[in-house]
Amino acid sequence: MIPQLPLALRWPRRQRFEHFHPGANAAALAAVEQLAHAPGMPWLYLAGAAGSGKSHLLMAACQAAIAGGRTVQYLPLASLRDKAAAIRGVAGSEFLALDDLGAIAGDRDAEHALFDVYNRAKAEGAALLFAAEALPSQLGLGLPDLRSRLGACQQALLKPLDDAERRAVLRQQAASRGIELDDTVLDWLFNRYARDLGALLDLLDRLDQASLAAQRRITVPFLRGLLREKQE
């Protein structure tokens, strides 16, 4: 039985183009926006390390394509149990985003299913957007024809924001909420939490709510107390 696909998932509100902080990735952002907004653009393959913004761009592209009246499917391959069945279940969408392609490397059935989807999308004039941590030639795919097809896509390498850029974004987002984050607080956060920007912004959401409830500024003692309460 083919598992239900995430056709109508609740799109994260922050995963939109206007919330993507490009840093050195402005060209990649522009290419994804073109693919999402204009049918007929070259298919795109995004490669980059964890935290570089791949999933953010795929979800933003899906939301933009929906706003433009196109039917959309997003497949987070790493989280799907039967990847081959899920890929084969894709049908009829005008815009398809496939995340974490490395999750199917070495899975013969899933690789063949993706090869078939690629060819069908080409015949139907659909748009495909791919993302993985490595380029097609470095992904460990066993199907040569699939490597060749993916390698023919326009490719963009994403670079994670550096610490200074992440700090600037976090400080800017905090300021937009009326929160002042001094260097001591930022040092504490960056030393103890994942430096993925999305995770840091999610943490800022929680800190904002907690500081409002407690009617306190966000300071290191406040953060320590909040963490202690959470652990207890």
Coil, helix or strand at residue 157: strand
pLDDT at 1 > cutoff 60: no
pLDDT at 82 > cutoff 50: yes
**CB–CB of 98/127 below 8 Å?**
no
Average pLDDT on 164-191 reads 88
Cα 6 to Cα 135: distance, rounded to the nearest angstrom = 25
pLDDT at 5: 36
pLDDT at 149 > cutoff 50: yes
Domain 17-158 has CATH 3.40.50.300: yes
Average pLDDT on 99-119 reads 96
Q: Could you tell me the residue ranges of all domains in the chain?
A: 17-158, 163-231
**CB–CB of 35/155 below 8 Å?**
no
pLDDT at 127 > cutoff 50: yes
Coil, helix or strand at residue 76: strand
pLDDT at 231: 55
- Per-residue pLDDT tens over the stretch 191-200: 877 667 777 8
For residue 19 the two structure tokens come to 């919330």
pLDDT at 173: 87
Band of pLDDT at residue 69, cut at 50, 70 and 90: very high
pLDDT at 8: 40
- Per-residue pLDDT tens over the stretch 7-53: 444 567 778 898 899 999 999 999 999 999 998 899 999 999 988 89
Q: Which position has the token pair 């390390």?
A: 49
Mean pLDDT of all residues in the chain? 88
Q: Report the predicted TM-score, pTM, of the whole model to 2 decimal places.
A: 0.83
Q: Which residues contact 142 (CB under 8 A, 6 or more apart)?
A: 105, 106, 108, 111
pLDDT at 201: 82
